[in-house]
Chains A and B, each alone.
Chain A
Amino acid sequence: MSWAKLTPAQQEILRPIAAEWDKLPNKLQKNLLYAAERYPSLTPDEKLRFNDKLKKWSKLTPEQRKRAREKFQAFSKVPEAEREKVKQMVREQEARKAQGAVSNAPPSEATGR
């Protein structure tokens, strides 16, 4: 389905990948259109994450997306406590990355002067 045939609401949600949309495989387009339908029911944080990840997700190969879905579904079956541990590790890693980015920045940016 071409970009021009999407509704304004769909185009608004899928805007991060507007340039690539027409080149995406049909199956991915269908999945993303379904995701766009569910978008309004997401929390604000979820919507932010959705927008951030959309472009990256569309750039993966079909095989990578397939593996990612399998891993996600397997991870969903892990007990909540274990999943929370993994999420905490990832949060700490992200925080360290952000810290590193700040400390590597030029002095004027790091101190805000």
Chain B
Amino acid sequence: MNQKLQPEHIRQALDNSLEQIGPSTLARLRHAREQALARHGAASAASGWAAKWHFDTPHYKFRYFAAAAVFAAVLFSGAAYWQQEHEAGEVDVAILADELPIEVYVD
């Protein structure tokens, strides 16, 4: 027999053989199927979370580093402003306390 088996033939053959399986065998098969489905469900949940983490991590890390960079920039500019103000005050003190009169520095 060289004819190619069609899907419906395979299905029919399986259905026919199913009718020949005894009740205890069917029960064992059903139990095994349920166990397999349960394992597949847990694995799907775990892989779902893993997939979520896998797909989100690059974005999460990017958002984290972007926020850290913004915070550092704000901190740095604040520190630079404070430093500038601090230096201006220091120069004023030095001019006022200096031996030379103010006129030397004023046009």
Residues of A at the B interface (CB closer than 8 Å) are 27, 30-32, 34-35, 38-39, 42, 46-47, 49-50, 53-54, 56-57, 60, 64-65, 67-69, 71-73, 75-76, 86-87, 90, 94
Given contacts A42-B97, A46-B97, contact A31 B106 (CB under 8 A): no
- Residues on A with beta carbons closer than 8 Å to the beta carbon of B85: 30, 34
A interface majority secondary structure = helix
- Residues on A with beta carbons closer than 8 Å to the beta carbon of B96: 35, 49-50, 53-54, 57
Contact: A87 with B100, CB < 8 Å? yes
- Residues on B with beta carbons closer than 8 Å to the beta carbon of A47: 97
- Residues on A with beta carbons closer than 8 Å to the beta carbon of B104: 71, 86, 90
- The CA-CA distance from A76 to B52 in the complex, in Å, is 62
- Of B93, B97, B102, which contacts A56 at CB under 8 A? B102
Residues of B at the A interface (CB closer than 8 Å) are 85-86, 88-102, 104-107
- Residues on B with beta carbons closer than 8 Å to the beta carbon of A72: 91, 94-95, 98, 105
- The CA-CA distance from A72 to B92 in the complex, in Å, is 9
List the 9 shortest-distance A-B pairs measured between CB atoms, nearest first.
A34-B89, A46-B97, A68-B105, A71-B105, A35-B93, A50-B96, A31-B92, A69-B91, A31-B89
